[in-house]
Amino acid sequence: MWTQALLILASAVAASFVTLAVAYQLFERRYKERLRHEVDQQVDLYRQQFQEILDRELVKLGDLLEERVRKGVVDAARSLSSPERLQETTQSVVKTGVDLVEAGLGRVLGTKPRKNG
């Protein structure tokens, strides 16, 4: 009696393992490549969208930087009264440009701005 029950249980477990093995092989052969292909397509689409956004933001940043540097140079040329003043103005313009580039890249890359002080 126990032998029959044990035999039935063992054959049920063996049938389950065979079913799992067949299902796994079907998944591997039919669905895995299709899923991988679909995921690769989505990744490529997101990569392209990110690149477009990055390019657009970098152009905006470049335009803004050019405008501000031009304004800084014009302001510096107008306020030249001594070599010391020229050096202070040049350092200020350079610092402003660096801050703009850092802030723009931080915005594009999603990093927090650095606190001065």
Overall average pLDDT of the 70-80 stretch: 75
> pLDDT tens for residues 21-38?
999 888 888 888 888 899
| 3-state SS class at 117 | coil
Domain region containing 97: 2-109
User: How many domains, the chain?
Assistant: 1
DSSP 51-106: HHHHHHHHHHHHHHHHHHHHHHHHHHHHT--SHHHHHHHHHHHHHHHHHHHHHHHH
Residue 106 CA to its chain's centroid (Å): 12
pLDDT-based confidence at residue 115 (cuts at 50, 70, 90): low
pLDDT-based confidence at residue 116 (cuts at 50, 70, 90): low
Is pLDDT of 112 > 90? Answer: no
Evaluate whether residue 117 is within a structural domain.
no
> Quick one: pLDDT at residue 44?
94
